[in-house]
Homo-oligomer: A and B are copies of this chain.
Amino acid sequence: MRVLILGGDGYLGWPTAMALAAKGHDVLAADNYLRRTICLETDSEPLLPVPTLAERAELFQEASGSQVRVAVGDCADMRFMEWLVEEHRPEAVIHYAEQPSAPYSMMGFEQAKLTLDNNLGTTFNLVWAVLRHAPDCHIVKLGTMGEYGTPDIDIEEGWLEIEHKGRRDTFLYPRQAASLYHTTKIQDTDLLWFYVRTHGLRVTDLMQGPVYGLSTDEADLHPRLAPYFNYDDIFGTVVNRFLVQAAAGVPLTVYGKGGQERGYLNIKDTLQCVELAMNSPADKGELRIFNQFTEQFTVLDLAERIQAAGRLHSLDVAVKSIPNPRKEAEEHYYNAAHSGLLDLGLKPHYMTEDVLGEMLERVLRNRDRIDNRKILPRVKWS
């Protein structure tokens, strides 16, 4: 299949590009290096340096014999987006091309504006480029479980049937997010749902939880093919930050009470989910939504699991609560459906002690590169 990957340089974009190319798909990966620029601007460099897209493609071809074509440009620029779609005539587009950091989106006006313009601009351009040049193409969009927030009722997969005063109708599940970044994803969903209904697009929206992991079949072919490993407060998600703190011998910093519960998944399962969605496309005029995670944990659960993984490496890991820089519920109800992708055939890789232990080992090997100042929160929500 001809597959276009937007945001193909990212934590998930590059591993997805390799995985689909290895399966024989004709893959074009596009990126504007926004994440690299923001990492530089905010002193949030990943633990290990990451080769450019062109270098990655070359390394991957040498290691696997498979090819990923790459293009560097800005998908929020319609000329570039149209060129991509006209040139590649994709049968599927995997859309990761968004500014993905919640803390970055909360730093101030400029960062919030960049997030809004980039994320909505890219999604908007994609809609129009597909309508114009590849109307049958299946758009696989990465949403986030964060769009739902933490409601006091069960979270369903994208839709909710509501009974009200004796009548019934089905709606997009109500969304209310805890950062501007997550809010732009809600606005993306609004846009996609509108153009699906009026113009017959086919879209799968994958509401993904936080992803962890460094190992994929293709990333493991060469050390320099590893995904980004950010451990800072801007791009580093909680599992990464905790692993680095464990390796550095400083306490794991839990925001507030640590009862924040979310659905997590292994990067190997992201690759599976995207491929499963791609291989059974949404119908024309259908917005299909899956909740993409495999296990629910609280932040305190994660801290305990990383303490246990630390013991495998004879590390004595402490846990410390610090004031929560975010505005979010620290104790709340959370029960989210996630059967759609299992029904499509997802075989989960769970967060075992071995999986965390292996990640921790890789961090320990690069312990001298850790800069502790990057881990503590530098951005407050107001």
Give chain A's interface residues, CB within 8 Å of chain B.
Answer: 78, 106, 109, 112-113, 116, 120, 124, 128, 132, 151-154, 160, 162-165, 167-169, 171-172, 174-178, 180, 183, 186-187, 190-191, 193-194, 197-200, 327, 333, 381-382
Residue of A167, A169, A174, A177 with most chain B CB atoms under a 10 A cut-off: A174
Residues of B near A175 (CB, < 8 A) are 190
Bound CA–CA A113/B177 (angstroms): 25
Residues of B near A160 (CB, < 8 A) are 162, 164, 174
Contact A183 B176 (CB under 8 A): no
Contact B168 A153 (CB under 8 A): yes
Residue from B124, B163, B171 in contact with A174 in the complex, judged by beta carbons closer than 8 Å: B171
Q: Would you give 29 A-B contacts (Cβ < 8 Å), ordered by A?
A: A78-B109, A78-B113, A109-B132, A112-B124, A112-B128, A116-B120, A151-B169, A151-B171, A152-B168, A152-B169, A153-B162, A153-B168, A154-B164, A154-B167, A162-B162, A171-B174, A172-B176, A176-B193, A177-B194, A180-B194, A183-B190, A183-B191, A183-B194, A187-B187, A187-B190, A197-B327, A198-B327, A199-B382, A200-B382
Residues of B near A190 (CB, < 8 A) are 175, 183, 186-187, 190
Contact A165 B174 (CB under 8 A): no
Bound CA–CA A183/B196 (angstroms): 13
Bound CA–CA A164/B168 (angstroms): 13
Bound CA–CA A194/B116 (angstroms): 13
Contact B198 A381 (CB under 8 A): yes
Residues of B near A198 (CB, < 8 A) are 106, 178, 327, 381-382
Contact B167 A333 (CB under 8 A): yes
Bound CA–CA A200/B153 (angstroms): 25
Bound CA–CA A142/B129 (angstroms): 31
Instruction: Kindly provide the distance from the CB of A78 to the nearest chain B CB, expressed in whole angstroms.
Output: 7
Bound CA–CA A132/B172 (angstroms): 34
